[in-house]
Amino acid sequence: GLGNQMFSEVQVFTEKRYNPFTYNGLEYKFFSYTAKGGIMRLEQNAEIVVTDLERTVVDCIDRIDLAGGIEELVTALNGITHLDEQVLLTYLKEYNKKFVYKKAGFLLSLLKKDLLSQNFFDICKQNCSIKLEDISENKKMPRSWYSYDRKVSKIVKIIFTRKVVSV
């Protein structure tokens, strides 16, 4: 996985509804999903179902809260050395959420611009929502991406100033 912290919670994305439970000190929580692509079955001691890298990236950008928060997501994205932009665009299209296009374009333009073409960012911009209240108060952020939330903008500004600018 992309995470670098230990958590006591296991998040399971499934088509069926289950009640959360605790087993061996781990809390299992279940979430539904709509996107179907990027799911792989691996044989270990038992069959394990996981998502590929690009699907995991889109899932984490969609639900930053379930990815460990913005700082954990930034750390994880910084560790990625290759992304298939066509696969990313396929999953973004499958999600069909303007907000996810905006977050993906914004975050990846700051952290992974060297891995993706300008065409990727143009497609994200064409498909993202643009609302007046989304405009960032932070003049250092690219005006073309507008902040997706004022509260998140302030958190992102602090983290990116600390993490990205110092890199």
Nearest to 72 by CA among 90, 84, 80, 60: 60
Work out the pLDDT band at 27, boundaries 50, 70, 90: confident
Statement: residue 2 has pLDDT above 80: no
pLDDT for residue 46:
77
Task: Summarize pLDDT for 67-125 with one digit per residue, the tens.
Answer: 888 889 999 999 999 999 999 999 999 999 988 998 999 899 988 889 999 999 999 98
- Is the pLDDT confidence value at 163 over 70? no
Q: Nearest-CA neighbor of 40 among 101, 87, 75, 80?
A: 87
Give how far the C-alpha of residue 19 lies from the chain's centroid of Cα atoms, to the nearest Å.
25
pLDDT of residue 136: 41
**Assessment of whether the complete model's pTM goes beyond 0.85:** no
Angstrom distances, CA of residue 45 to CA of 9, 42, 48, 85: 22, 10, 9, 32
